[in-house]
Amino acid sequence: MKRTLADRNRKRTFAGWIGKRALGGVLTVLLASILIYGALRLAPGDPVLAMTGGRRLTPDQVEALRHRYGLDQGFMQGYLAWIGDALRLDFGTSMNYQTSVTSLITNRLGVSGVLILYSAVLAIVFGFAVALASAVKGGLVNRVAGIVAAVTTATPTFVSAIGLLALFSVGLGWFPATGAGTGLADRLWHLTLPAVAMAIVAFGVLARVGNAAFAEELRREHVEVARSRGVSTAAVIRRHVVRNALAPILTIIGLLFASLFVGTAVVETAFGLDGVGSLLVSSVSRRDFPVVQGIALIAVLLFVVVNTLVDLAMPFIDPRVTVGGPGR
């Protein structure tokens, strides 16, 4: 009787906690969207001239543009019109391509999406393996892994991109230097070098964070207790070490998604891929504002969603995370 009441209370605080977290995420996206929209207004001089980047326009065309981007209205009105459209996935029309920003982005999601997932899988699989092996084996393996992780963490993506390009595609000819390929197998083959280049930093970070987390869990007494009960080494590592280290590792994976997204800009430029990242770079240099704003908003949204999901997963991973505690 008593327990059902307690359970109900727990459920209520849990719902409230989820609401709080979600609200925090929404607030972040909201403020970021104001910043992204406001950036246009920050531009020195007439924003429309900044947007058109020196292209010659008739006064009528300028006026039409001003109206289109809500620049003839107050800030709030303009913002509300823009965000209202954005919520309906309408980010306006590209100045450069003269097509809708949404279709520009969706046409390129195939390349960038595969690239991000591919590199995330590479980074997680290898980072996890190296972290676990070095923490369990210790000694020389640990030292070598530590050096590898330190170097890969510090390798800028554009350096790994040109290094891989020079060695594996120009030098050895194993992989193509440009293009995204057609069909799944061909695409994966084309995207292998770019994905590896993007994954290198994330791999290093995961290997270091994972190693620290695994090593800490290995020192815990309950691991020794499990060993003292004759639980096999594999089961001890799976049930007590990996399971317990999951929380910090998942948190870092969530944070790494931001660096992977930025990585697509560099890697797609280096390997001549037509993806969202290279679209962002070319739009920034051409000051194609609607495209930049659209991509920036989507990126922030994705990043916040991923990290909020990670946050929400925490109580299931670690029951000690108090759901009713102060939401920070």
Binding to other proteins (CB under 8 A) within 81-100 occurs at none
Question: Is residue 190 a contact residue for other proteins (CB under 8 A)?
Answer: no
**Is 154 in contact with 203 (CB distance < 8 Å)?**
no
Residue from 170, 188, 309, 324 binding other proteins (CB under 8 A): 170
- In Å, how far are 95, 121, 277 from 104, measured between CA atoms? 12, 26, 12
Rule CB under 8 A: which of 45-84 touch other proteins? 50
Written as six digits, the tokens of 153 are 């963490």
Q: Which is nearer to other proteins, 125 or 235 (CB)?
A: 235
Residue partners of 142: CB distance under 8 A and separation at least 6: 134, 135, 211
CA distance 316 to 304: 20
Question: Is residue 309 a contact residue for other proteins (CB under 8 A)?
Answer: no
Number of residues that bind other proteins (CB under 8 A): 75
CA distance 293 to 91: 8
Residue from 57, 68, 259, 312 binding other proteins (CB under 8 A): 259
CA distance 217 to 203: 20
Question: Is residue 281 a contact residue for other proteins (CB under 8 A)?
Answer: yes
Question: Which residue stretch of 38-46, 56-64, 84-92, 181-189 sits at the interface with other proteins (rule: CB under 8 A)?
Answer: 38-46
Rule CB under 8 A: which of 237-256 touch other proteins? 239-240, 243-244
Which secondary structure element, helix H or strand E, spans residue 108, and what is its range? Answer: helix 101-137
Q: Which is nearer to other proteins, 125 or 224 (CB)?
A: 224
Question: Is residue 10 a contact residue for other proteins (CB under 8 A)?
Answer: no
Written as six digits, the tokens of 120 are 């995330």
Angle, CA of 179, 182 and 183, to the nearest 5°: 145
- In Å, how far are 39, 108, 254 from 33, measured between CA atoms? 10, 22, 21
Q: Find tokens 């020195």 and name the residue.
A: 44
Read out DSSP for 66-78?
HHHTTTTS-HHHH
Question: Is residue 262 a contact residue for other proteins (CB under 8 A)?
Answer: yes
Question: Is residue 162 a contact residue for other proteins (CB under 8 A)?
Answer: yes
Residue from 220, 238, 309, 324 binding other proteins (CB under 8 A): 220
Rule CB under 8 A: which of 90-149 touch other proteins? none
Question: Which residue stretch of 11-19, 63-71, 119-127, 265-273 sits at the interface with other proteins (rule: CB under 8 A)?
Answer: 265-273
Residue from 7, 46, 186, 224 binding other proteins (CB under 8 A): 224
Residue from 261, 275, 276, 310 binding other proteins (CB under 8 A): 261
Question: Is residue 299 a contact residue for other proteins (CB under 8 A)?
Answer: yes
Written as six digits, the tokens of 186 are 């061909």
Question: Is residue 33 a contact residue for other proteins (CB under 8 A)?
Answer: no
Q: How far is the CB of 228 from other proteins (least distance, A)?
A: 5
Residue from 231, 250, 313, 314 binding other proteins (CB under 8 A): 231
Residue from 18, 22, 32, 148 binding other proteins (CB under 8 A): 32
- According to DSSP, the residues that pair with 100 across neighbouring strands are 93
Listed residue (211, 213, 202) closest to 152, CA to CA: 202
